[in-house]
Structure 1
Amino acid sequence: MAEIWQWSAVETARRVAAREVSATEVLEAHLARKAAANPALNAVVVDLSAQAREAARAADRAQASGAPLGPLHGVPVTVKINIDLEGQANSNGVPGLAGVIAPGDSPVVANLRAAGAVILGMTNTPEFSLRCFTSNPLHGQTYNPWDPAITCGGSSGGAGASVAAGIGAVAHGNDIGGSLRWPASCNGVATIKPTLGRVPAFNPSATVERPPMAQIMSVQGPLAREVADVRLALEAMSRRDPRDPWWVPAPLTGPAPPSPIKVALAEIPADMETDPEVMALIGQAAAWLADAGYEVVPAVVPDVTAAWRLWCDLISTEIATVQIGPMREMGSAAFIGALEGILHMATILDAAGYMQAMASRARLLREWLMFLETYPLVLAPVSVCRTPAFDADLKGDAAVRRIFHNDQRFLGALSVLGLPVAVAPAGLTAAGHPVGVQLIASRYREDLALDAAQAIEARAGVLAHKLWAR
């Protein structure tokens, strides 16, 4: 029989609601798991055990009183150190920001609490949440639970590593260039990058607003071992918060497309170097979707390379124009080296170029939306190559360009478009390293992407179970 910390979020909430187990018992099982697993991973870097115990006792009292229970009542979760949790530092992995104490909860934290979740800790991120490798001078490096020699991903690397290892049933993360999807793939877990406006976001500690593209591309979302848990957590996180002007009251489910649902298996641009083992696992995911009744058709999707270029140029222009000062002042030498590698890939745009790029984004998004009318889903790689060592972006500009432009081109391209994307684990390489796939849907059709992810999971199995059995 599975131990309590191995239960899914869905099962945990069900058993707590049925009074088969108390929220306090569930929390203590997860805290014991954290004590056993976290020292080797360094995934949870802010311990909230005392607060969590108070929250679990309050959850048990609420249940005893007959109060209505939220969908995550008694479920242990983590949040990332780059959002506000009242009374805690929103350091974003930067020593110079370690004194930024949140005066209130961000919408994600508030929504998790309202759903009954118990927050047991905060997870690690790279400095300024900008590298796709998780390490910083404040909390150190986070390790991949499958193999410490490879990266756990970033920037939600602590989230991905912790939930894969069984520390919390759900982990919060965020994504501006792949920061939910890349760690999900590296750690063998599932996630959803929601459409802009699905999950409200705001940090009360912020003294200035983020620049436009950072607002348009950055989204909050859950990582979990099972797709059903991702769906449940997305529902909990999506509750309205008036502090986010981008929030949209869109339904979580939509009408079913004509059956069989067409899935475009994205053709890889000819200039991308791919790993045969990774591509074989993507092919296996396509075969599983076909087995589940989807019509999978190889297809050339709208211009991924042009979309990636827009992502690179727009985000780099904003950094170089309004954010570079604090980053260079407070960032470590390793961070600055990786950042310069990103900036050197980009064309830093003038005002006219920035406006033209924003206009081009609308054209590309329109092309994708029309494509998704024919193919409601697109199956694409997270990365076309194997998971690299944790410091692969510290090998110079060429290495940075290879990671972002070659290996992960589909990540940045989809970030700039703002489409919802689920990630499902497709299996393990011969070396025992997880590989995930992206499932792209039209705006606010997270449900379709998650349905397809669940079909793959039903055939691939829950990879974390294999991790725990080793």
Structure 2
Amino acid sequence: MDLGQITAAELLSALSSGRLSAAELMQLTLERIGAVNERLNAIVAMRDPDDLMAEARAVDSGPNRGPLHGLPIAVKDLVNVAGVVSSQGSPILNGFIPETDDLLAQRMKEAGAILIGKTNTPEFGLGSHTFNPVYGVTCNPYDPERTCGGSSGGAAVALASGMVALADGSDMMGSLRNPAAWNNVYGFRPSWGRVPNEPDGDGYLHQLSTLGPMARSPEDIGLLLDVISGTHPSQPLGHPGETVSPVQPADLTGMRIGWLDDWGGAFPFEPGIREICRDALEVFTQLGAKVEPLTPPFDADQMWNSWITLRSWSVAAGLASLTEHRASLKDTAQWELDRGLALTAMQVHRASVVRTEWFRRATEVFQDYDALILPSAQVWPFDLQLAFPTEINGTRMDTYHRWMQVVVPVSLIGLPCLSVPVGFGSEGLPMGMQIFGPRGADSRILSIGSAYHSATSWPQKRPA
């Protein structure tokens, strides 16, 4: 059985019918991890193999536990799992073992998943390059000298290399979409509020980051999305969202899709990215959709200034309890912390007004278009030794995250967005593009993605 080719839906069907036991799948999973993880460093804080085999055998001898019955999953190392080291890639938390599960882990366990360990992430999830001083760097399976992206980089690599069939991630600034693109898999950022964040701290003000699923098909995305979705009584702004599974390919006949390209020249790109995405748009045309170039519907600089204000404010709120450890934080975390703590209430207010204006304008655009499309990244996977790109095609980057500006139109207003693979560049490296729609259109976006997947099946292919 090739764990890199078979889907989560197929594995779960085999487990449910008895054609495959949880113990057999766990053994295959451990063998696959043993074969490739030392080179890629995607899964960290692994639980004891004997304990995992014992848990799998207990699953086999008991009743069906839910929609993820018997499926091994590694959880992103920003999520606490009881009894498993949960460091968030930071020396400050190195060795921390929580006594209780975060809500995401709890829901996956209740659905029958066996949590085997963690997937690697940048320190505190900051940056789209997965490295940290606790576990080191995670390599791209298509070129181990290149980055896998981030911050859900370990999750994407574990999927791409067949170590797991489903993975979770989080996404503030493309952390589900960028690594999905660079590892030839799917990453889905749900409508904000559909998947509740951990119910502690503030529940009203910060609406940028969300948890979400990654997989090798939109159908598999839907399986995990339904498990982790749903309101929590301690979260005031969540919404349940409709059940999306089983995800079925949409009939694209007559659909209007807007292609935003480089946002009227506002987003610089490395050579070949826009071209490979344009080629992928032909799939939608062949499936009956009408793809139209779209004039940028909002000013990119206004969005960016709103974004960096609200992001720094949000990140600083999350790191505020660690100010006494400031010197131990990486430079980018210190930059966000200092910047966020210096903001005034009125600066945050003005940034949110711009956010609201973009939301209203996007709502108008979606009256004419079923979905919009942008590339998922502005650069190809870069060298592991580079902390972050400082220029793109001759354009200097003025912050550590400016090179990911292409994800901001979605993140700023909490839209549902699926990063889909578009194939491989001249060096055999993967790329992806974002398909997004209005808030609440999660099911429709996944169905559009499913039609695209049926016509392409990129995660099951390899570069020439």
Are 1:133 and 1:391, in contact at CA under 8 Å, matched by a contact in 2? no
Which residue matches 1:404? 401
Q: Normalized against structure 1, the TM-score is what?
A: 0.88
Are 2:388 and 2:400, in contact at CA under 8 Å, matched by a contact in 1? no
Which residue matches 1:119? 115
Which deviates the most, 94-103 or 33-42? 94-103
1:217 aligns with 2:208: yes
Which residue matches 1:359? 353
> What pairs with 1:51-200 in structure 2 (closer than 5 Å)?
51-62=51-62, 67-200=63-196
Which residue matches 2:379? 385
Are 1:72 and 1:117, in contact at CA under 8 Å, matched by a contact in 2? yes
Are 1:262 and 1:376, in contact at CA under 8 Å, matched by a contact in 2? yes
Instruction: For residues 65-103 of structure 1, give each alpha carbon's deviation from its aligned partner in whole angstroms, at most 9, with x where no partner exists.
Output: xx3452221222110111111122331111111244323
Separation (CA, whole Å) in 2 of partners of 1:321 and 1:119 = 29
Structure 2 SS opposite 1:386? coil
Separation (CA, whole Å) in 1 of partners of 2:144 and 2:240 = 42
Alpha carbons of structure 1 residues 264 and 246: separation in structure 2 relative to 1, 3 Å: same
Which residue matches 2:369? 375
Separation (CA, whole Å) in 1 of partners of 2:73 and 2:372 = 30
Return the offset for 1:26.
0.8
> What pairs with 1:223-372 in structure 2 (closer than 5 Å)?
223-253=214-244, 260-268=254-262, 269-303=264-298, 305=300, 306-319=302-315, 323=319, 326=322, 329=325, 335-336=330-331, 338-339=332-333, 349-372=343-366
Alpha carbons of structure 1 residues 466 and 267: separation in structure 2 relative to 1, 3 Å: closer
Q: Percent identity?
A: 28
Structure 2 SS opposite 1:247? coil
Which deviates the most, 81-90 or 416-425? 81-90
Return the offset for 1:326.
2.4
Separation (CA, whole Å) in 1 of partners of 2:389 and 2:361 = 36
1:445 aligns with 2:436: no
Separation (CA, whole Å) in 1 of partners of 2:37 and 2:161 = 8
Separation (CA, whole Å) in 2 of partners of 1:5 and 1:27 = 14
Return the offset for 1:53.
2.4
Structure 2 SS opposite 1:366? helix
Separation (CA, whole Å) in 2 of partners of 1:276 and 1:229 = 32
Alpha carbons of structure 1 residues 273 and 297: separation in structure 2 relative to 1, 3 Å: same
Which residue matches 2:30? 31
Return the offset for 1:183.
0.8
1:454 aligns with 2:453: no
Instruction: For residues 328-348 of structure 1, give each alpha carbon's deviation from its aligned partner in whole angstroms, at most 9, with x where no partner exists.
Output: 835657x21x34676899996
Separation (CA, whole Å) in 2 of partners of 1:403 and 1:297 = 33
Separation (CA, whole Å) in 1 of partners of 2:123 and 2:25 = 32
Separation (CA, whole Å) in 1 of partners of 2:135 and 2:75 = 15
More helix by share: 1
Are 2:424 and 2:431, in contact at CA under 8 Å, matched by a contact in 1? yes
Are 2:178 and 2:376, in contact at CA under 8 Å, matched by a contact in 1? yes
Return the offset for 1:119.
1.6
Which deviates the most, 90-99 or 10-19? 90-99
Separation (CA, whole Å) in 2 of partners of 1:72 and 1:359 = 41
Counterpart of 2:219, as a letter, is: A
Separation (CA, whole Å) in 1 of partners of 2:3 and 2:149 = 27
Q: Normalized against structure 2, the TM-score is what?
A: 0.89
Structure 2 residue runs without a partner (length 5+): none
Return the offset for 1:319.
4.1
Separation (CA, whole Å) in 1 of partners of 2:401 and 2:275 = 21
Structure 1 SS opposite 2:443? helix
Return the offset for 1:454.
2.1
Structure 2 SS opposite 1:155? coil
Return the offset for 1:387.
2.1
Are 2:92 and 2:328, in contact at CA under 8 Å, matched by a contact in 1? no
Alpha carbons of structure 1 residues 139 and 347: separation in structure 2 relative to 1, 3 Å: closer
Instruction: For residues 16-65 of structure 1, give each alpha carbon's deviation from its aligned partner in whole angstroms, at most 9, with x where no partner exists.
Output: 11111101101110110000010001110110234432332232122xxx
Return the offset for 1:258.
9.7
Return the offset for 1:360.
2.0
Instruction: For residues 409-456 of structure 1, give each alpha carbon's deviation from its aligned partner in whole angstroms, at most 9, with x where no partner exists.
Output: 121332111111001100000101000100011112111221222233
Separation (CA, whole Å) in 2 of partners of 1:340 and 1:304 = 29
Separation (CA, whole Å) in 2 of partners of 1:344 and 1:400 = 20
Are 1:106 and 1:202, in contact at CA under 8 Å, matched by a contact in 2? yes
Return the offset for 1:296.
1.1
Counterpart of 2:239, as a letter, is: V
Are 2:371 and 2:436, in contact at CA under 8 Å, matched by a contact in 1? yes
Instruction: Give the aligned CA root-mean-square deviation in angstroms.
Output: 2.9
Return the offset for 1:324.
5.9
Length, aligned pairs only: 454
Alpha carbons of structure 1 residues 388 and 211: separation in structure 2 relative to 1, 3 Å: farther
Return the offset for 1:245.
3.4
Separation (CA, whole Å) in 1 of partners of 2:369 and 2:327 = 43
Separation (CA, whole Å) in 1 of partners of 2:396 and 2:51 = 42
Counterpart of 2:31, as a letter, is: A
Are 1:392 and 1:399, in contact at CA under 8 Å, matched by a contact in 2? no
Instruction: For residues 209-230 of structure 1, give each alpha carbon's deviation from its aligned partner in whole angstroms, at most 9, with x where no partner exists.
Output: 25865x3111111111222111
Return the offset for 1:135.
0.8
